[in-house]
Amino acid sequence: MTSPINASDRQAQKTFFIKTYGCQMNVYDSERMGEALVADGYTETAVLEDADLIVLNTCHIRERAVDKVYSELGRIRDIKEQRLAAGKSTSVTIAGCVAQAEGAEIARRVGVVDVVVGPQSYHRLPALVRQARTDGQIIATEFLDNEKFDALPVRKRARNTAAYLTVQEGCDKFCTFCVVPYTRGAEFSRPMSQLLDEALKLVAGGVREMTLLGQNVNAYHGVDAAGHEVTLVGLIRALAAIPELERLRYTTSHPRDMRDDLIELHATEPKLMPYLHLPFQAGSDRILAAMNRKHTAADYLELVRRIRAKNPALALSTDIIVGFPGETEAEFEATLEMVRTVQFAQAYSFKYSARPGTPAATMDGQLSEAVKTERLHRLQALLAEASTRFNAGCVGKIFPVLFEKAGRRPGQLIGRSPYLQSVYADVDVAALGRIMQVQISAAGPNSLAGVVCA
Ligand code: SF4
């Protein structure tokens, strides 16, 4: 357990810089680490070279994640030496999933690292940094029975009008390509009262849209104040009752956990945005079985049919892996066919890359980079056609747009449509943080432009 931080421990005017890699959950974790450091007396700097404490919050999902960390640490070593020559010390922390999986090895090989902290221990970051100053390099990658959310400081501020809220962590599904069950641990759902409390604080700070996060968010099963189990449906209903909170989203969902009442909620809860991220990963049943996804292509298509029957306006995004070990050309074609059938509004597609310690890493039939690259190009061309078509279909429609930040030109703001598209419009800066009706006038591959309705 962490010892409580008292005033004499606090850092005098120390600065920190956090570099975040990967998914929205890491963005959320970085915000919470930043808040813990601010509560400990640090201030944030946007300039890495000025930071007394540098934190790399790493991701293990993408290819060459460890290489990227090594290369960034090489640059940081030079900065640390330059700062030392100027009489300033620099503390370096690796956090996140790479830290959990391979942090100890990285720290052993690269002397520049002071603290390695896994995703379940980052509430201890300020204390660990202090401890490393006296004890030398610290490795904190134990699973601490989810004490993290109780130990983090109460949220005080919102960075934006749209915020993330981690409601669930970890995963028990053990897809054979994925490190999450090893780096984030078993599925854990935060209690509903804790989440409502955090949501109210964010809303009081100006948040109008909230995305509920979890590696397996639709498996959420927390408890309410009376100790009764609450599903994601119950949680969304409770959050939707907060008057100032105008929009809700959730990600990432597993097809097997899309229950009927959650599908129904997409038809009945107006605050729930009509946009759902639902990974299908591969179109071949043999590959899906080898991935341990526990659903077939037909199951997925039937699920999509049921969701669209309840809410025809709902759009889908997805994750797809190409070149899983043993994938034949015909099996890859099945993935293309799935894309043609479903017509995703948006998709994230990746070449399979082996993660050490996962079952797929040692499977027979690993494909060459050339085959994987060629298949990825074909897939992405098809996905780009579908998303361009989806965006073009928005022209002429009127969308409620939540304006979040200034555009490139004076007088222009950028907001989000219900489908998460960036929308550019000329509108007074007073619209920031507000939802306004915008008629879409033009569509590009990645964004829309529109005119605010009178
Ligand atoms: S369900 Fe998602 S997080 Fe869980 S093992 Fe599969 S890919 Fe990883």
Nearest atom within ligand 1 for CA of residue 172:
4
How many Cβ atoms from other residues are within 10 Å of residue 85's Cβ? 8
Nearest atom within ligand 1 for CA of residue 292:
6
Choosing from 108, 140, 172, the residue where a domain stops is 140
pLDDT at position 11 is 44
Is the C-beta atom of 310 inside 6 A of ligand 1? Answer: no
Is the C-beta atom of 317 inside 6 A of ligand 1? Answer: no
| Residues 167 and 314 grouped into a single domain | yes
Mean pLDDT of 336-351: 96
| Residues 55 and 94 grouped into a single domain | yes
Mutate to test the pocket of ligand 1, among 172, 174, 178, 184 (most ligand atoms within 8 A of CB): 178
Examine residue 72 and state whether it is found in any structural domain, yes or no.
yes
**Per-residue pLDDT reduced to its tens digit, 178-225:** 999 988 889 999 999 999 999 999 999 999 999 999 999 999 999 999
| Residues 385 and 404 grouped into a single domain | no
Q: Which range, of 145-154, 221-230, 300-309, averages the lowest pLDDT? A: 145-154
- CA–CA gap between residue 10 and residue 134 (Å, rounded): 15
Is the C-beta atom of 171 inside 6 A of ligand 1? Answer: yes
| Residues 90 and 222 grouped into a single domain | no
How many domains in the chain? 3
pLDDT band at 5 (very low <50, low <70, confident <90, very high): very low
Q: Which residues pair with 405 in a beta bridge?
A: 414
Residue of 190, 195, 316, 311 lying closest to 253 (CA atoms): 316
- CA–CA gap between residue 58 and residue 142 (Å, rounded): 17
| Residues 254 and 368 grouped into a single domain | yes
For 114, phi and psi rounded to 5 degrees?
-95, -40
Is the C-beta atom of 216 inside 6 A of ligand 1? Answer: yes
| Residues 96 and 75 grouped into a single domain | yes
Examine residue 1 and state whether it is found in any structural domain, yes or no.
no
State in Å: Cα 10 to ligand 1 middle: 39
State in Å: Cα 124 to ligand 1 middle: 26
| Residues 219 and 239 grouped into a single domain | yes
pLDDT at position 389 is 96
- CA–CA gap between residue 443 and residue 449 (Å, rounded): 6
Mean pLDDT of 248-267: 97
Choosing from 140, 171, 199, the residue where a domain stops is 140
What the block records as the tokens of 38 is 């601010």
- CA–CA gap between residue 113 and residue 95 (Å, rounded): 11
| Residues 116 and 215 grouped into a single domain | no
pLDDT of 10 higher than 60 = no
| Residues 175 and 217 grouped into a single domain | yes
| Residues 171 and 259 grouped into a single domain | yes
Residues shown for the chain: 454
**Per-residue pLDDT reduced to its tens digit, 85-109:** 999 999 999 999 888 888 888 888 8
Mean pLDDT of 422-436: 95
pLDDT of 266 higher than 60 = yes
- CA–CA gap between residue 27 and residue 124 (Å, rounded): 18
Choosing from 107, 140, 173, the residue where a domain stops is 140
- CA–CA gap between residue 70 and residue 111 (Å, rounded): 11
Examine residue 179 and state whether it is found in any structural domain, yes or no.
yes
pLDDT band at 167 (very low <50, low <70, confident <90, very high): very high
Q: For the chain, what is the mean pLDDT?
A: 92
Residue in the block written with tokens 């570099």: 19
Examine residue 295 and state whether it is found in any structural domain, yes or no.
yes
CATH assignment at residue 17: 3.40.50.12160
Mean pLDDT of 59-76: 82
| Residues 191 and 296 grouped into a single domain | yes
- Which domain, by its residues, includes 266? 148-391
pLDDT band at 120 (very low <50, low <70, confident <90, very high): confident
CATH assignment at residue 435: 2.40.50.140
pLDDT at position 8 is 42
Task: Give whichever of 61-70, 72-81, 100-109, 238-247 has the largest mean pLDDT.
Answer: 238-247
pLDDT at position 104 is 83
pLDDT at position 263 is 98
Mean pLDDT of 158-166: 86
pLDDT at position 109 is 84
CATH assignment at residue 233: 3.80.30.20
Is the C-beta atom of 254 inside 6 A of ligand 1? Answer: yes
Q: Which residue did the predictor score with more confidence, 6 or 364?
A: 364
Q: For residue 231, what are the contacts with CB-CB under 8 A and spacing of at least 6?
A: 220, 221, 259, 261, 262
Examine residue 265 and state whether it is found in any structural domain, yes or no.
yes
- CA–CA gap between residue 136 and residue 91 (Å, rounded): 11
| Residues 439 and 346 grouped into a single domain | no
**Per-residue pLDDT reduced to its tens digit, 373-415:** 999 999 999 999 999 999 999 999 999 999 999 999 999 999 9
**Per-residue pLDDT reduced to its tens digit, 137-161:** 999 888 766 678 888 887 766 668 9
